[in-house]
Amino acid sequence: MSRTNHFTTIEQMEADTAKLRETACNVCAETWEDRAKAQTPHCKFGEGGICCRNCSMGPCRITPKSPRGICGANADAIAARNYLRSIAAGTSSHSDHAREILHVLKSASRDGNYQVRDELKLINLAKEWDVETEGRDIYDIAHDVADVGLLEFGKPEGTQRFLTRATEERQKVWKEQDIEPRAIDREVVTAMHMTHMGNSADAEALVRQGLRMSLANGWGGSMLGTEITDILFGTPTVWTTEGNLGVLESDMVNIIVHGHDPAFSEMLVTACEVRELVDYAKTKGAKGINVVGLCCTANEVAMRHGVRMAGNFLQQENVILTGAVEMMCVDIQCIFPALAQLSQCFHTKFITSSPIARIPGSTYVEFKPETAFDQAKQLVREAIDNFQNRDESKVYIPPTKQTATVGYPTEQIIKHLDNVTNSHVEIIGTYKPVIDTIRSGVLRGAVAIVGCNNPRVRPDYSHFEIMKELIANDILIVATGCAAQLATKAGLLNKDAKYLCGAGLRRVCELVDIPPILHMGACVDISRMMLLATGIAKDWGVDITQIPVVGCAPEWMSEKAVSIANYVVSTGLDVYLGIEPQVNGSDQMMEIITQGTRKITGAGYIINTDPHQLVKSIIEGIEEKRAALGI
Ligand code: BF8
Ligand code: SF4
């Protein structure tokens, strides 16, 4: 039985989790709720960012009695160095992900495991990068494009190629402020060098490097990741799918793909469709193979194949706790090491696949582009063989799920706008229709809601409250990552969510035939949001800092999110945070991240851990931008 309402409340989601925690209790397993409790209260030095272990004279902790570390570094220096190191880790994660995808493009061939699916996007990128295209084989072009892309990581001279996609005003700001990112690896290495013992102690200089390095992510690594993934696997299109635990099937072989790198999950999804394997599943008593996604992988495969989504970050243990998962295959990032032990309480096979994410207790199958499809088929076969080991006495699948319309990269947004402007040739292919609705006040503005969920606040609650309030106030939302997953679980990606909107947004949803929250993909796809905001500013003819568009990460937790928040601020958009960055042990750092960056990039953070107050300040911020534009 499925339960599909207009939307699923947080209380319903929590009730499902409570049932699954009973299962955890029965199999003597712990979950993040238990560990979060055991970790509370959190270390105040860590929370404030004022514990330094950058050399072995320490660790040094800042207190009123000991305001300097042994070397003399104060709270400002230590908090800023720790903050910069977070941005370095986040930038590295997205960018290394992109590098892997570029290597996959390098290995692509007509008869190999990976092909070029979006030739037009490849040709356009080749032209943007001055790679010869005339009369050449598409794979020769692809390999040259991959080489040029790979050089973005280590080229000795010059800045990131994608910077020229930004508005002229942004390019000028980045140049004048000396935060134009050079090679991606260079920016990360510079950050690590700056934070080594005995180097920078100046908080502002450290934050400036954070801005520059984050741009190497948003307008470098992440943008590369998105572009090359589209070239290899196709630019996403609109799909109707479903989300939440109810997408697991009691009578099918359930295979979960979890992580971020689509090279792995794409192969598994394709393998699950192989006729011979589906038939094999039937010989084992299953009705078929049910492949579903978790976290950002879910976003990737939902947008390209309509694959259903089991949930977001803090749902990962719940999925195993259903007792109905034959295999969970993970690649990189945001994977709880706890999953290995938890899987052992059930029949679930837990497969790791990347040398970047090795987890004790997992079965490690290193995934290689040359053998990818055979490896994927072998894993699916093993999952099918495991179906007979399912212990029905441990199985409980909460029936809750919602339908969701997903897959709105910028190309799809433009296409939908074009559909309603067919008589006005001059605005075809532009954001002018949406600008007109913002100008006239039918829409007040737009908010990009991104990021994780986090036990520091009631998980998913902040997302839900903020989203409902924004759409009720005629503010369109674009979402990625685990925020988009919450919208999926809640039913807010359903076109019926228009009934929760103000009259203006509802009219837009009906006219353009969209839900009020547009699912733009995984966290690397926040680069798509940067291009969307850039396109709006260009078509409007104003600076990006002027448009009534902001970013919001209500429940962020990862270092990737710190890097993202910095590149969004560097791009000129304010970022509203529902979790405080770990720098509050330094008054100077709190001032820099909320005010100081405004003098550099024109934007900064607004922080409030109360979602109702946060959404109030978002709406006020949007109205202020409108007033400044005289609209
Ligand atoms: O990159 S939103 S918990 S899954 S970090 Fe992770 Fe956060 Fe989810 Fe995707 Ni993004
Ligand atoms: Fe202490 Fe300075 Fe070493 Fe940090 S770098 S641990 S503050 S002595």
Q: Which phi and psi angles does 20 have, rounded to 5°?
A: -70, -30
For a pocket test of ligand 1, which of 297, 313, 317 has the largest count of ligand atoms closer than 8 A to its C-beta? 313
Mean of pLDDT values over 134-161: 98
**Taking phi first (over 0 means left), then psi (-120 to 50 degrees means alpha), and beta for anything else, what does residue 517 get?**
beta
- In order of 161, 172, 205, 566, 592, the CA distances from 600 in angstroms are 22, 12, 12, 12, 10
Q: Which phi and psi angles does 542 have, rounded to 5°?
A: -125, 170
Confidence at 422, pLDDT banded by 50, 70, 90 = low
CA distance 486 to 298: 12
For a pocket test of ligand 2, which of 51, 56, 68, 71 has the largest count of ligand atoms closer than 8 A to its C-beta? 71
CA distance 301 to 260: 10
SS3 131: coil
Q: Is the CB of 53 under 6 A from ligand 2?
A: yes
Which of 607, 587, 605, 585 is closest to 597 using CA atoms? 605
Q: Judge whether residue 528 has pLDDT over 80.
A: yes
Model confidence, pTM: 0.97
* pLDDT tens readout for residues 172-231: 999 999 999 999 999 999 999 999 999 999 999 999 999 999 999 999 999 999 999 999
Sequential DSSP letters for 342-394? HHTTSS-EEEE--TTS--TTSEE----GGGHHHHHHHHHHHHHHHGGG--GGG
Sequential DSSP letters for 175-202? HHTT-----HHHHHHHHHHHTSTTS---
CA distance 19 to 323: 12
* pLDDT tens readout for residues 96-117: 999 999 999 999 999 999 999 9
Residues enclosing ligand 1, CB less than 6 A?
Answer: 260, 295-296, 312-313, 334, 451-452, 481-482, 522-523, 558, 560-561
Compute the Cα dihedral for 453, 458, 461, 466 and give only its sign.
negative
Confidence at 423, pLDDT banded by 50, 70, 90 = low
Q: Judge whether residue 301 has pLDDT over 60.
A: yes
CA distance 337 to 550: 34
Please give the DSSP secondary-structure letter assigned to residue 42: P
CA distance 47 to 580: 9
Q: Which residue has the tokens 């499809």?
A: 373
Instruction: Please state which CATH number belongs to domain 405-628.
Output: 3.40.50.2030
CATH topology of domain 245-394: Rossmann fold (3.40.50)
How remote is the C-alpha of 466 from its chain's centroid? Answer: 18
222 with 570: CB under 8 angstroms? no
What is the whole-number distance in angstroms between the Cα of residue 294 and the centre of ligand 1? 10
Q: Which amino acid is at 196?
A: H
- In order of 114, 137, 154, 466, the CA distances from 143 in angstroms are 12, 10, 17, 44
Task: Give the helix/strand (H/E) hosting 328.
Answer: strand 327-330
User: What architecture does CATH give domain 71-233?
Assistant: Up-down Bundle (1.20)
* pLDDT tens readout for residues 601-611: 999 999 999 99
SS3 254: strand
CA distance 23 to 395: 8
Mean pLDDT, rounded, of the chain: 97
Q: Which phi and psi angles does 387 have, rounded to 5°?
A: -55, -40
Q: In this structure, how many other beta carbons lie within 10 angstroms of the beta carbon of residue 15?
A: 13
453 with 553: CB under 8 angstroms? no
CATH 3.40.50.2030 spans which residues of the chain? 245-394, 405-628
* pLDDT tens readout for residues 440-468: 999 999 999 999 999 999 999 999 999 99
Confidence at 426, pLDDT banded by 50, 70, 90 = confident
Q: Bridge partners of 330?
A: 258, 352
Q: Which residue has the tokens 């080749």?
A: 126
* pLDDT tens readout for residues 215-274: 999 999 999 999 999 999 999 999 999 999 999 999 999 999 999 999 999 999 999 999
Q: Which residue has the tokens 């000795």?
A: 156
Question: Which ligand 2 atom minimizes the distance to the CA of 78?
Answer: 7
Confidence at 6, pLDDT banded by 50, 70, 90 = confident
CATH 1.20.1270.30 spans which residues of the chain? 71-233
